[in-house]
Structure 1
């Protein structure tokens, strides 16, 4: 696709990110949850957002289903559409981070290439969290009925069934979810990220 030549970004003229972070008393990061469908990404993200707000931090969740019901509703689940989905959401996440907001992203993002794409767009503020829930547990939950439909051949390109899910090689955080409460999982993530989001004053 040919890029437009008649655009004039004003990023350098807006209020600096550092000032926005100082007002919010935090350092913004993009916390990127990756894991199988049904692994608990959205549920844990909701709890983490609540914990952050309790501590006085301003956070926002970007969830796959929410995004696909709005800005990305024109995208399907082909390989090209999945990539476009990640490109768009990564750019949105970056805008939130540049606004000083801690942004929790919940996307299956099933391969290293897809996750690297997101990381390259967002940059050094990217924190990769692998929600490590075994496939059989995700299938037991199957709240949306997607695994059953995928096994029946009704859903194509479904990670873990008829499309690969490649676990991250070197995620910043690995969260094992078996036999643990959502609150425990959110608190573990918070322990890992708290030093990264505390606003340090000179």
Structure 2
């Protein structure tokens, strides 16, 4: 029996590896013939949430919109993979309520700040440390780690294929082993 479409909610700091993991999980789902969609926080801020800034209120609204979209996708038979910082526990709990607790799989991408700063593909940490941008999660804005995530991953030490396999296991699927 095929599991029903769910939402994989990847939360963690900027450059923690959320989008990379989301795309790899989506590739695995697509290979199984399952419709899925990756909702990347950075891309969404240029599209669905372009009117929002980085205040606490705007971050909360961003998470709410993404959760609404995930719920709609799940309702139409599509797997949703949300990769966004979503720094506040309260917002992630509200997302769980919107999507539905049985379909909401919270994964904490717990890559340490030092690793995220070393990666820094957009130069955000460098800019935050220099004082040219404000409200960067982990620097001058808090990140509230999940208290009871379904899964915790550290992409700084865990190989990508292991992270994908563990995420698929949450869906009740196993990664196919290459022959």
SS in 1 for 2:171: helix
Match in the other structure for 2:169: 191
Match in the other structure for 1:41: 18
Match in the other structure for 2:133: 155
Match in the other structure for 1:179: 157
Match in the other structure for 2:121: 143
Match in the other structure for 1:70: 47
SS in 1 for 2:10: strand
**Alpha-carbon distance in structure 2 between the residues aligned to 1:156 and 1:95:** 33
**Alpha-carbon distance in structure 2 between the residues aligned to 1:52 and 1:90:** 20
Match in the other structure for 2:32: 55
Per-residue CA deviation, residues 67-110 of structure 1 (Å, 9 max, x unaligned), is 11112111111111111111111111111011111100011011
Q: Superposition pairs for residues 106-121 of structure 1, below 5 Å?
A: 106-121=83-98
In structure 1, runs of 5+ residues without a counterpart are: 1-21, 196-202
**Alpha-carbon distance in structure 2 between the residues aligned to 1:117 and 1:151:** 31
The number of residues matched between the two structures is 172
In structure 2, runs of 5+ residues without a counterpart are: 174-179
* Contact persistence 2:40–2:83 (CA under 8 A): yes
Per-residue CA deviation, residues 43-74 of structure 1 (Å, 9 max, x unaligned), is 01101111111222221101111111112111
User: What is the TM-score with the length of structure 2 in the denominator?
Assistant: 0.91
The RMSD of aligned alpha carbons is 1.5
**Alpha-carbon distance in structure 1 between the residues aligned to 2:108 and 2:18:** 9
Match in the other structure for 1:31: 8
- C-alpha displacement at 1:180, in angstroms? 2.9
SS in 2 for 1:171: coil
* Contact persistence 2:11–2:109 (CA under 8 A): yes
User: What is the TM-score with the length of structure 1 in the denominator?
Assistant: 0.81
Match in the other structure for 1:79: 56
**Alpha-carbon distance in structure 1 between the residues aligned to 2:56 and 2:155:** 28
**Alpha-carbon distance in structure 2 between the residues aligned to 1:150 and 1:29:** 35
**Alpha-carbon distance in structure 1 between the residues aligned to 2:147 and 2:84:** 17
